Amino acid sequence: LQTNLPGIYAVGDINGKHQYRHKANYEAYIVARNLYETDKPSRAANYDHTPWAIFTHPQIAHVGLTEAQARESGHDILVARHPYSSTAKGYAMGYLPGDADDGFVKLIVDRNSKKLLGLHVIGPHASVLVQPYIHLMEQGLPYTVIDETMVIHPALSEGAAWATYYLK
């Protein structure tokens, strides 16, 4: 985030990267850490897993590759789509199978490495549901970590976790 001028840094829209408020916050944190916590190794920004969300009704959130991008990149992929209505929380919120406004989670996974390549969520709390997957992707962990983890019940996060059962 350091520019070509000593002591001058570029964060936010001005540095030409993604134009998201959360990206600018992330960059500002890195600059402050690098300037004021000199006892720690300097850190660079990583944009490999930059998420976005649209706060409409329904919410839409995304991180990583789309299904088409994953195929075009040469990945042998598995894909799963799992509706909100399949969870107790989704049902309690009034979603029924086949409803036009039933939210869903879509996972795109590399068949060989078992790494999560992309995640899309459409429905209430999409921006919250995408976050744990950003952590998995950033750490390079396989999607199987999700299968091996307990999920609080009833919660919409079950839908995101249970989507792994439907990968094909």
- Residues labelled as active-site residues: 153
The SS3 call for residue 15 is helix
Number of other residues whose CB lies within 10 A of the CB of residue 78? 19
DSSP codes, 73-116: TT--EEEEEEEGGGSHHHHHTT--TT-TT--EEEEEEETTT-BE
As a whole number of angstroms, the distance between CA 156 and CA 124 comes to 9
As a whole number of angstroms, the distance between CA 133 and CA 64 comes to 10
| CA dihedral sign of residues 6, 12, 14, 15 | positive
The SS3 call for residue 149 is coil
